[in-house]
Amino acid sequence: MRDSVAIDVALLRGWPLPVPGDGGKDERGRVFVVAGSPQMPGAVILCATAALRAGAGKLQIGTTLSAAPHVAAAVPEALVVALDEKRSGAIARTAAKTIDRHANAADALVIGPGLSDEAESARLIEAVAAGVRVPVVIDAAALGCFARRPKVVAHLRGAAVFTPHAGEMAMMLRRSRDEIEADPQRYAQAAAERFGAVVVLKGAVTYIADPRENTLYRNDRGDAGLATCGSGDVLAGIIGGLVARGTAPLHAAAWGVYLHARAGDALSQRIGLGFLARELPAEVPPLMRELAGSS
């Protein structure tokens, strides 16, 4: 078993989150979330709400044409962009230039939660990645293209965060899920090096690897209640919101994983098993204040 460093309060306080001044919403960071489908509009709502709860100041959402009106009503804080939609419900590859235009005017892009049609989504991400110039958090079906095009975000020089579970990691590395689960530390580090991205390999113990350093970080906090629909969408949004604020990708990943876990702990103590993913984001602001050491 490889050595790893536990994510704890002391570590996070050594990586303090940016403190906004008097510059208004723009200084707190702009995040563009591309997610959702007619079958899963909730994924984009969960992800986008979490990005705001993590402290981002301005939010734009890109989602399918048919889901856009419903998402706009559910997230009144956001500007919602309706994107070209395939008959399958996927965001069409033809939307890539629109996505890049909005992403590059923001401070971070989060893409992937709730996308349908893995093959079309992989083609979309490949096209988007070639044109994006800001840090990006990539989750769920959006990870599919990296099995075939491992270096598609190499130009970002480590300013990308991937958030796969073991099944998605197996697909990306062309390994079996059993292999990934038997040695997650090894494969988290291998993926970071192969893809040139910070990799958050989710599981009962979550491992975080950065392509630019040898240290592996782990989070073994969190409650079984986090294994619920939409939980990963919330995590991607938290990390994206922190990146938009100006947090380094590795630090945002560590903060995001820990905040997500602590939010689950808090809900488990208050509610018990059966809390909902939609309840996680509201736990994040007081936890950030507590972990920063502020009253």
190-243 tens-digit pLDDT: 999 999 999 999 999 999 999 998 899 999 998 899 999 999 999 999 999 999
Stronger pLDDT, 61 or 149, i.e. the higher one: 61
How would you class 190 by CB atoms within 10 Å of its CB: exposed for 0-12, middle for 13-18, buried for 19 or more?
middle
In 3-state terms, what secondary structure has residue 236?
Answer: helix
Task: Judge whether residue 23 has pLDDT over 70.
Answer: no
What is the residue extent of each domain of the chain? Answer: 25-288
91 Cβ contact partners less than 8 Å away, ≥ 6 residues apart: 34, 37, 62, 63, 64, 83, 84, 85, 115, 120, 121, 124
Q: pLDDT band at residue 1, thresholds of 50, 70 and 90?
A: very low
Which one, of 164, 174, 158, 157, lies nearest residue 142 by Cα? 164
Is the distance from CB of 189 to CB of 209 less than 8 angstroms?
yes
Name the range with the highest mean pLDDT among 21-35, 104-118, 137-151.
Answer: 104-118
Residue 272 and residue 292: Cα distance in Å, rounded?
27
Task: Judge whether residue 294 has pLDDT over 60.
Answer: no
List C-alpha distances in Å: 239 to 78, 155, 244: 18, 20, 9
Of the CA atoms within 13 Å of residue 295, those in its CB half-sphere come to: 0
Domain 25-288 fold is UDP-N-acetylmuramoyl-L-alanine:D-glutamate ligase (3.40.1190)
What pLDDT, in 10s, does the model give residues 43-56? 999 999 999 999 99
